[in-house]
Amino acid sequence: MSSMAEADIYAALSEIFRDVFLRDDLQLRPELSAKDVQSWDSFKQIDIILAVEEKYGIKFNTRELDSLHNVGDLVRVIAGKTGTG
């Protein structure tokens, strides 16, 4: 994945995370996971996924959803599905 494409995805995800968690101070990094963010439960995870699907016009399959353990995983899957990986 080019650093430009990765940076674009992180920028888009930052906006989505800000909207979902109503927090401006969240700094996304690859290893950031639900354990690090209060209230990041399955409901928030769905909100994130739905926003990503809408933003990129993609659909995650169940294997991809189950493989998402942190932000880095999400970035990799988005890159793979949008052809920027």
Partner 1 sequence: MGEGGELVIDFGRSGNSDNYRRSGWSEPEPRHTWTIGPESTLEFPRPAAAGTYMLVIELGPFVWKDRIPAQHLTVLVNGSEIGEFAVREPAALECTIPWDVIEKREWVLLTFRHPGAARPIEINGVPDHRELALAFETLSLFPQFDSAAVAGGRSKMPSAEDAFAIDELPVDQLMMGFESLGENCEFGLAQRRCGAEPLGLLRFASAPLPVLLAGLKGHFEGVGEPDQIEIRVSANRQEYLVIDRRYGFLYHPWVLVGEADPEDIRHREEKRLPFLRRKLVEDLTEARKIFVYRGMRRLPQPLVLRLVAAMREYGPTTLLWVELQDDEHPAGTVEPLTAGLLKGYIDRFAPGENAHALSLDYWVALCRNACRLAGHPESREA
Interacting residue ranges for partner 1, rule: CB under 8 A: 34-35, 41-43, 45-46, 49-50, 53, 59, 61-63, 65-66
- Between 8 and 18, whose beta carbon lies closer to partner 1? 18
Q: Which residue's CB is nearer to partner 1, number 18 or number 84?
A: 18
Could you give the C-alpha distances from 48 to 2, 43, 71, 77, in angstroms and in order?
A: 23, 9, 11, 14
Residues 58, 78: Cα–Cα separation, whole Å: 8
Place of tokens 């995370």: 17
Q: How far is the CB of 82 from partner 1 (least distance, A)?
A: 19
